Structure 1
Amino acid sequence: MKENLTPKTYDQIPEYMLSLDAFSQWLGIEIIEVRKGYCKVKMTVRKEMLNSMKKAHGGITYSLADTAFGFATNTYGNKAVSIETSINHVEALEEGDVIVAESDVKSQKNKLGFYIVEVKKEDQLVALFKGVTYKTSAKW
Structure 2
Amino acid sequence: MSAEDNTVQRHAIRIEAVGPGEASLSMLLTAAMTNGHGTGHGGFIFLLADTAFAYACNSHNQRCVAQHCSITYLRPAREGSRLTATAREVRRVDRSGVYDVSVADEQGTPIAEFRGISRTAPGTFF
- What TM-score do you get using the length of structure 1 for normalisation? 0.85
Q: In proportion to residue count, which structure has more helix?
A: 1
Partner of 2:119: 134
Partner of 1:106: 90
Q: Secondary structure of 1:137's match?
A: coil
Partner of 2:51: 67
Partner of 1:24: 8
Aligned partner letter, 1:45: L
How many aligned residue pairs are there?
124
Partner of 1:54: 38
Supply the distance in 2 between the matched residues of 1:68 and 1:137 (Cα, whole angstroms): 21
Partner of 1:124: 109
Q: Sequence identity, in percent?
A: 27
Supply the distance in 1 between the matched residues of 2:7 and 2:18 (Cα, whole angstroms): 20
Q: Secondary structure of 2:94's match?
A: coil
Unaligned ranges ≥5, structure 1: 1-16
User: Shift of residue 136 of structure 1?
Assistant: 1.8
User: Shift of residue 19 of structure 1?
Assistant: 2.0
Aligned partner letter, 1:132: I
Q: Secondary structure of 2:58's match?
A: helix
In angstroms, what is the RMSD of aligned CA positions? Answer: 0.9
Partner of 1:82: 66
User: Shift of residue 82 of structure 1?
Assistant: 0.4
The structure 1 segments of at least 4 consecutive aligned residues displaced by more than 3 Å after TM superposition are none
Unaligned ranges ≥5, structure 2: none
Supply the distance in 2 between the matched residues of 1:19 and 1:53 (Cα, whole angstroms): 35
Q: Secondary structure of 1:105's match?
A: strand
Supply the distance in 1 between the matched residues of 2:55 and 2:43 (Cα, whole angstroms): 18
